[in-house]
Structures are given as C-alpha cells and as structure tokens.
Amino acid sequence: EDQVTQSPEALRLQEGESSSLNCSYTVSGLRGLFWYRQDPGKGPEFLFTLYSAGEEKEKERLKATLTKKESFLHITAPKPEDSATYLCAVQADNYGQNFVFGPGTRLSVLP
Amino acid sequence: NAGVTQTPKFQVLKTGQSMTLQCAQDMNHNSMYWYRQDPGMGLRLIYYSASEGTTDKGEVPNGYNVSRLNKREFSLRLESAAPSQTSVYFCASSEIPDRAYGYTFGSGTRLTVV
C-alpha cells in the first residue's frame, strides 16, 4: 500500500539548534515530492519540489534533499519564526496529478 | 493578491443539516481541489476538478458533492452533515502541468457538526 510518513511527529528546538525532519514514502513511480509549511489557522504554503534522487533545494535556513525512499528537510540555525507544521506530499504514477500528504511534523523553536 | 478565498471561515452545523463551502481563485488556474485535514491523518483529497467542466472523486468523496461553477469557483456541498465530517476543509488550486509551484491553498473552513 502506498504510504507517506513523517517523523518525528513533533520537535522542539532551541533557537540556533539545527536539526532534520524526515519524510518517508513507499509509492511506485515517484513524479515529485513537495514540502509545505503550515502556520496555525492557515493553509499550507508551498516551499519546494524535488523530482529525482540526489536533488537538493535551499531557501533561507531550509534545505530539502531527496533519496529513493525518503526526503529530509534540514533546518540550520532555526529562529522562532520557523515554528510551524511542515508537510510533505508525493505525486506518483498511481495518483495522476494529485498528491498524497504525510501527517506533518510540528516544529517549535524556542527563543 | 487574494489567491484562494474560502468562505465561511467557521461553521457549526447540526447533524442532518446541509451547507455549501465556497472557494474562489483569482490566479487563472485550471485545476481546483477540496481537501479535509484531520489530526494525525494529513490532508485527504475529497474531490477535484482538473479543468472547467470536469470533476472527479478523490480519496474520501462519500457524503460530499461539488460544483465547478466556472474557472474561478469550486464549491463543496454537504447534503446531510454527520459528526464524522467535523474537520478543517481546504480548497486549493494549481496550474497544470506546471508542478514546480505546487498548490496554492486557501486559509480553510473549520466545520463542526454536532
């Protein structure tokens, strides 16, 4: 069965303490892996798309990487404003143009 | 730059009541989507419209209907609300086949069915 899982479920960091979030997937024919940020009471906001293993994308303190089975979102020297829930989603041959979302990782960065 | 606008933002319904959630986008996107978000389960696709005039079922369509009124608007209707439909509902849009920018989401409708 196709699955998208994320770990950890929640993560608390001190400001400046770097860490990584994980997104693991078991799908056939990956066409793209997407990272979103979601603030409380808001809709998800698009961050990155990764298409193939070995690809990396960066934006400010965030860096996303992709292997054949998982993706990592690395957060370097986080600030309190990075606190949010981070969602990953995959697009695969079985789903046409649609995505399957993971449950998210809730990140809290303490000052 | 409104993006995707959803109304209402909050709603409380009694079991058996009906309502329509409205969604409009101003980005000239072809595709629109309705998702529900429940704790610990991630976003699940209810219905989508790949282009004006077409609609298709997603992962969890039971108990819902949709209408793609025109290119801008995509509504979601609950004919007879049930407590299991208590959730946060998100509308999204995208320009297919450009996947580089993902979806643009609205800010959501928080629905409680009592």
Confidence of residue A31 (pLDDT cuts 50, 70, 90): confident
pLDDT at A29 over 90: no
Whether residues B58 and A98 touch (CB distance < 8 A) is answered with yes
Mean pLDDT along residues A2-21? 95
> How far is the C-alpha of B86 from the C-alpha of B109, rounded, in Å?
10
Whether residues A98 and B102 touch (CB distance < 8 A) is answered with no
Q: Does A4 touch chain B (CB under 8 A)?
A: yes
pLDDT at A4 over 60: yes
Which residue of A lies nearest to B58 if distances are taken between CA atoms? Answer: A98
Which of B30, B36, B56, B99 should be substituted to probe chain A, the one whose Cβ sees the most A Cβ atoms within 10 Å?
A: B99
Residue A56 backbone zone (phi > 0: left; psi -120 to 50: alpha; other: beta): beta
Q: Does B100 touch chain A (CB under 8 A)?
A: yes
Q: Which of B103, B111, B114, B95 is nearest to B36 (CA)?
A: B111
Taking 70 as the pLDDT cut, the residues of chain B under it are 1, 96-100
Whether residues A31 and B99 touch (CB distance < 8 A) is answered with yes
Q: Which residues of B touch A43 (CB under 8 A)?
A: 4, 90, 92, 105-108
Min Cα distance B80 → chain A (Å) is: 26
Backbone angles phi, psi at A95, to 5 degrees: -110, 5
Confidence of residue A92 (pLDDT cuts 50, 70, 90): confident
Whether residues A101 and B102 touch (CB distance < 8 A) is answered with no
Confidence of residue A36 (pLDDT cuts 50, 70, 90): very high
- Is beta strand B87-94 parallel, antiparallel or unpaired with respect to B104-105? antiparallel
DSSP track, A41-99: TS--EEEEEE-STT-EEEETTEEEEE-SSEEEEEE-S--GGG-EEEEEEEEEGGGTT--
Q: Report chain A's mean pLDDT, rounded to a whole number.
A: 93
Q: Who among B4, B45, B101 is closest to A46 (CB)?
A: B101
Alpha-carbon dihedral angle through residues B24, B61, B85, B91, given to the nearest 10 degrees:
-20
Whether residues B41 and A103 touch (CB distance < 8 A) is answered with yes
Q: Does B58 touch chain A (CB under 8 A)?
A: yes
Whether residues A36 and B50 touch (CB distance < 8 A) is answered with no
CA distances from A61 to A74, A75, A79 (A): 8, 6, 9
Q: What is the pLDDT of residue B1?
A: 62
AA letter at B61: P
